[in-house]
Amino acid sequence: MTNYIITKDVAKLIRAQLKAAFPGVKFSVRCSTGTASAWIGVSYDDGPTYDQVANIARAFEGRSFNGMTDNYDDQGTALIAGQGENMPVEVRYLCDGVNITRTFTPAAHLEAQRIVATDSNKRDLVICDDAGKLIQGNLVGPEDEVAVIGGRVQQYPYLDAHMAVHLALAERDLTPAR
């Protein structure tokens, strides 16, 4: 027999798993409302990488949106270990998807600036001031030139400080030391 876990309870499970995996990082885990009421939003500042959070949160999706077919793909059921000597239980999560948003604080902006200054091909590129406030507008550079930040290539007319921060920190785990 399959047990169904409603979206509100799925959000509690996600919150507990993220808290256990990344102590010291504050996550906001919210159920959407209205038409998207089976969706959950997870947001956090700095902390683990997007992929680290997605690996945990997306395990609780009962369905996931497939942009190629403009439809949902069923993820099937999951087998959950029972308590003590109880047998495992088959569950179906009633969550259509999880949206994850990682934002960066001024402290992370300063870390990105340090990374750009040491690891990029544009060591003199300034993306924030000494307080971590991002530079406004596109970063200056010749139109045919590129910046390599975090191992990713970005052409100058389309590079701004916000993009430079995301390039520099995408694969960086900023979880506080335990």
- Put simply, whether the predicted model's pTM sits higher than 0.75 gets the answer yes
Query: Which of the listed residues 58, 76, 103 is the one where a domain comes to its end?
Result: 103
Do 46 and 68 lie in a common domain? yes
Whether residue 14 is predicted with pLDDT greater than 90 in this model: the reply is: yes
Query: Which of the listed residues 85, 103, 121 is the one where a domain comes to its end?
Result: 103
In a domain, 177, yes or no: no
In a domain, 176, yes or no: no
Do 61 and 17 lie in a common domain? yes
Q: DSSP per residue over 110-159, as a string?
A: HHHHHHHHHHSS-TT---B-TT-PBPPSBPP--TT-EEEETTEEEEGGG-
Number of domains in the chain: 2
Task: State the residue range of the domain holding 133.
Answer: 106-169
In a domain, 28, yes or no: yes
In a domain, 23, yes or no: yes
Do 56 and 14 lie in a common domain? yes
Q: For a pLDDT cut of 70, what percent of the chain falls above it?
A: 96
Query: Which of the listed residues 67, 82, 103 is the one where a domain comes to its end?
Result: 103
Do 39 and 63 lie in a common domain? yes
If phi > 0 it is left, if psi is from -120 to 50 it is alpha, else beta; for residue 133 that is beta
pLDDT of residue 87: 83
In a domain, 178, yes or no: no
Do 8 and 91 lie in a common domain? yes
pLDDT of residue 64: 84
Name 138's bridge partners: 160
Strand order in the sheet with 97-103: 27-31, 39-45, 97-103
pLDDT of residue 133: 95
Do 125 and 83 lie in a common domain? no
